Amino acid sequence: MAIENINRVTVYFVSAVGRALASGHDARDLLGETHGTETDMIVVPAGRFAARFFNPSTSQLGHFHQKLQTYEVGRYLFAADREALEAELRGRA
């Protein structure tokens, strides 16, 4: 588990190594990993998502996102890399 505070945002970094993520159940598993950590944002490397995750016909992205919404993980940000992520978070102070 890697948790860091970047510009007053508690960020949970999901490992780049592991099984492919694709479902609402996978999102719930990630939420379970962050339970009790006061995480504001979960960062998932794009390479961890299943091959068809971003294909609209599968609805995988929608189910995953909906589960995060249900449990009120309120910050969403797509960033190309860690440097871009940190720049965005610094700009949101």
The per-residue pLDDT for range 15-55, each reduced to its tens digit, is: 889 999 999 999 999 999 988 888 888 888 888 999 999 99
pLDDT band at 68 (very low <50, low <70, confident <90, very high): confident
Domain count, the chain: 1
Kind and range of the H or E run holding 5: strand 2-6
Kind and range of the H or E run holding 11: strand 9-13
pLDDT band at 74 (very low <50, low <70, confident <90, very high): low
CA pair distance 1, 33, nearest whole angstrom: 8
Residue 66 has pLDDT above 80, yes or no: yes
CA pair distance 16, 7, nearest whole angstrom: 23
Q: What's the predicted TM-score (pTM) here?
A: 0.81
- Block residue for tokens 């190309």: 80
pLDDT band at 76 (very low <50, low <70, confident <90, very high): low
**Domain of residue 28, residue span:** 2-91
**What does the longest C-alpha to C-alpha distance in the chain come to?**
37
